[in-house]
A and B are shown apart, each in its own frame.
Chain A
Amino acid sequence: MNISSVIFKSTVLATCIFWIVIMSQGFQNYMIPLVFLSMIPISICCAITIFLTIVPFFWVRRGELVDEFDGRNRIIFKKYFPFYAIVSFSLCLYGIVESIFAISFFVSAFFTTMQSWVWLAKDNEKQNN
């Protein structure tokens, strides 16, 4: 499983969403260096979230589904992703309701976690094939 590439892609995606939402409220020139600087904390957040909340599903279930050739990740994805998506959505919605100023953070968190699932599952699928 190539987790580092997934973390890199997630960081780029999260940074894009985060700053697009912020810049839609008003663009300032000083924001440009901040975009690049923010990639450091964003990458840490992405790495922690992916390692702690998504990767374990693939690791734990991997051994149990050895017999399922290329559909292994599809099974894991279909079984766990719906509930993960609902929990993630609920937490992000709660965050937005509690603090509308953090909307960019929670919107990027939701979409990035969703897409990270797809990347991880597809990455594993490729490796299995």
Chain B
Amino acid sequence: MKNIPLLIGAFLFSIFFYQQDIGLNLSLFSLLTIIILAIYNKDLFKKKSTIIFSIVFIITAITIFFFRSILTIVAYVVAFLTLIGNVSKQGSSVYVNWLNGLYTSIAAFFHRNFNTTEKDEKVTPKQKTDYLHLIKIIGIPLITVIIFIALYKNGNPMFSELISKIDFGFINIQWLLFSVLGYYLLSNISKPVIVDPATTYDLNNGNSLSRERDFIVEKIKKENQLGFILIALLNVLIVIFLITDITYLISTNDLRASAISNQVHNGINTLIASILIAIIIILYFFRGDLNFYKGNKNLKTVTYVWIVLNLLLIINIVIKDCQYIYYFGFTYKRIGVLIYLLLTIIGLLTTLIKVKQIKNFWYLFRVNTLTAFTILIISSTINWDNYITHYNLNYAQSMDFNYLLDLSDNNTFLLKNYADKNNLTAERKSLIEKKYKAYLIELESKKWQEIQYDNFKLNKD
């Protein structure tokens, strides 16, 4: 009896996804997932974090319904794994949630062979399934209903017509195998499991560093001196770099796309190397006892200065990227640079907090993965293709028209609207018309499982 929700879920899984594209079905599947999780883990759905991750999961599903893109699909998968991981173990970090979520989704069925503890076995001895009763409660009503349907069919032509409309033609062996796959997935997630060493380690390790009982002061003093000299020198170097870079930025009049592109990309490469080395060096020196050494004030000061200078370096790149966007419009790469810079700023600030409040490496990892997850979810709720097209058509000083055409269909209605209201060249108009018509055909051929928000726009028109 306890498997009935899973059987119904597997049936619905096949109806939603068998030989279907992505659309409304992902929203329905997310509801199904949450219902299955809530049925088998009632208590956990009273916890705030589980409710929040469920809402996030539904939001990502809705975004796919509104504008499908690779980013929204990735966000959906990550949100799914996070929710499952959260249900498997409350209070664990986001990256452990991902690990537990992935493991649960693919292999919980096999893991459960070794999941029962001796205590569980003693308290709840496994009851034997009464298969005869199961056959009776399914078989007898089913046979009786079929007999009565046959009787009523002969007695009422309208009822007969209704029955004949029910088409089970979609059920075949492949469909059944697909249902088995659905059952396997839902059975896996119904009772989430954990990756034991990783989860226990994560739960047992807090965010703060603890002081060792007796550390050798002489050794720490030498390390402090080395750290101070190294980071002070790097400060001098980064100051010189910033001065020359800002001077170049102010004095140059070269606004060719290739020139700005080179500057931004070189800047990003420098930044990636610089930030990574900065964080590694900081993590190395502040890995343990040096945090508790009384004479570390100067080292801490030069470290803060270095972090602030790296932030200035980032601002410098942001200015270049914004300049690039102002003149040549948005592209995914240029937006990606901005998001990377945002992540870097957060990474540097958390490193600063780590040094100031004597946190450990796991603190950095936890906070930054959570930040990356949040940014992924927020960025997936934005229809980038539409915004890129809108900005480039209306505000950019110059733009690549073919780039807009090559974007996904999320900007098709906007392009069509723009073409109708503006005087474009015949070639551009025909290209937009071609894209629009192809999209209309695609939308019209969608089955109910695949429909998306644009289908409703179609009906309005």
Contacts and interface: CB of A to CB of B under 8 A. Distances in A.
Contact of A81 (B99, B110, B173, B174): B110
Contacts of B106: 85-86, 89
A126 interface: no
B114 A24 contact: no
A34 to B, nearest CB: 18
Contacts of B172: 24
Q: Which of B107, B111, B197 has the most CB of A within 10 A?
A: B107
Contact of A77 (B102, B114, B195): B114
B177 A86 contact: no
Given A82-B195, A118-B113, A23 B173 contact: yes
B177 A121 contact: no
Given A82-B195, A86-B102, A86-B103, A25 B110 contact: no
A74 B121 CA distance: 15
Contact of B177 (A21, A115, A118): A21
Interface string B171-191: 011101100000000000000
A85 B197 CA distance: 15
Contacts of A73: 114
A59 B405 CA distance: 59
A96 to B, nearest CB: 12
Nearest to B107: A85
B interface, size bucket: 10 to 19
A91 to B, nearest CB: 12
Nearest to B112: A118
A103 to B, nearest CB: 11
Interface in B193-240: 195-198
Nearest to B193: A82
Interface string B411-441: 0000000000000000000000000000000
A81 B177 contact: no
Contacts of B177: 20-21, 24
B180 to A, nearest CB: 10
Nearest to A17: B177
B176 to A, nearest CB: 8
Interface string A30-51: 0000000000000000000000
Contacts of A122: 113
Contacts of A118: 110, 113-114
Contact of B173 (A24, A82, A86): A24
A79 interface: yes
Contacts of B196: 78-79, 82
A105 interface: no
A24 B173 CA distance: 5
Contact of A74 (B102, B114, B176): B114
Nearest to A110: B106
B114 A82 contact: no
A46 B179 CA distance: 27
A120 to B, nearest CB: 11
B107 A89 contact: yes
Interface string A103-129: 000000000001101100110000000
Given A77-B114, A81-B107, A82-B103, 10 more contacts: A20-B173, A20-B177, A24-B176, A74-B114, A79-B196, A81-B110, A82-B107, A82-B111, A85-B106, A118-B114
30 contacts: A20-B173, A20-B177, A21-B177, A24-B172, A24-B173, A25-B174, A77-B114, A78-B111, A78-B196, A78-B197, A79-B196, A81-B111, A82-B111, A82-B195, A82-B196, A82-B198, A85-B103, A85-B107, A85-B110, A86-B102, A86-B103, A86-B107, A114-B107, A114-B110, A117-B110, A118-B110, A118-B113, A121-B113, A121-B114, A122-B113
Interface of B: 99, 102-103, 106-107, 110-111, 113-114, 172-174, 176-177, 195-198
Query: 4 closest A-B pairs (Cβ-Cβ)?
Result: A85-B107, A24-B173, A82-B195, A89-B106
